[in-house]
A and B are shown apart, each in its own frame.
Chain A
């Protein structure tokens, strides 16, 4: 029972953060990049599984490396971030599969909510709250950058600084997310709640909070289904997200 409680707490925080960040990523047209970033974590997850340390730490280390490379290439080449992400993530997947053992493939790809400890629960909750508060504080500035980079600069906003901050927050979100849905499906936990929320929202505030709520709801529902049926939590979370999306899509336009 305590394991379920831990999983639900982690799921709630992770889903809320993924939904919230996903709303911003969709604004930046980077929702699918969440998947690419999830793949980017695979070498880190691989190392964590081989050497027995926490998968989020392994994922985060490789995300920081990958995102720094993407940020550097974006500044250097002025190419779209999405395209540069594809270059870096494809290389990461190739490296991960060179070393991943067969029995480690499933947890690496679709996540694992068993064997959680109180330390992991506290660290996840703390990191989720911190990232949420940082992004909440700068949400409007980040939104202005998306609307017009020139307008943002003319308002004295340091675009490079905020882009880097945004990418760092995305990195932590994905690193947290891979624990419950694995490196394969992180795009779903950031993209689906945001798309569903976009259908039902008319203001930025309702959009970001509805997205966060949908994300948390889907994670909690998925983990409960995992507990009830024994089916893996990761896919159950994504299916819950998809159900929420279908319900939102039924809303009359």
Chain B
């Protein structure tokens, strides 16, 4: 059963509070108070209160005044005034100013209050849904802007390079120069291709549903390893994977692959070519329904002042041409879906360690 809707009732007459609570507590979680100050404390402590009832006639402050103040501090809960006929004028003014949603006549009847809560709750849901959707839309727009911006660099960049190379090729006679250029062209095309793959990952992440299954992490790593063994051999980077898993681990296979692939390709990508004893080590442990993954490299490291930004879309902390600024952003997106966490520790010129924790789902 879903949690009961929380409502608050403010009235200076204790008898009213008792009656109200007795009537409604079976269907709702009811907070009551006879003091305005206490009402604000309750709202501070319970930001998920959806409906607030207040008596108009109270000593010190009227219900309308209370709601006006509350609207500024806690705009989300729906405000309903309890009032008699004689206060019609101030009630109408308050409704027109938008400070209250509706009013119930005193003395109230049960059906009145129930229907008021029903309506108020619908309004609350619609409004909060709108806020959520608005925030999502805002994020989507910001990302779209970043995409539009990156298109001219990350897609057009490699293409203009290749176009330029074709132009230059007409004037090059030396076969070795031509070969040198072909290698650079190949690099540009690979970069464009990996950008497109990452963009596809990004899209799947945003739109895809989780597919949870039991994961054998050693087996998963065995699938991924061959991709990096080439790079390990060619660039003389020691590569070792250790998996300790004695209990079942449930998660989304594709998202795990995305996370591991990005962390591993970074670990190989950002090695310091001049170093001897280059290494990439992966340690995975599953314990207490939690997988802890370390990906350690002996690479170039990340400058301290860039660490906060490496998970941002299109952020690149390294001048090597290889990065698209997509990878860690996608890792973070995937971890968000899996309720996972990521930490990074890096020392310039010594290496970087990413620690990822993912709960079994």
Do A and B pair up? The answer is no
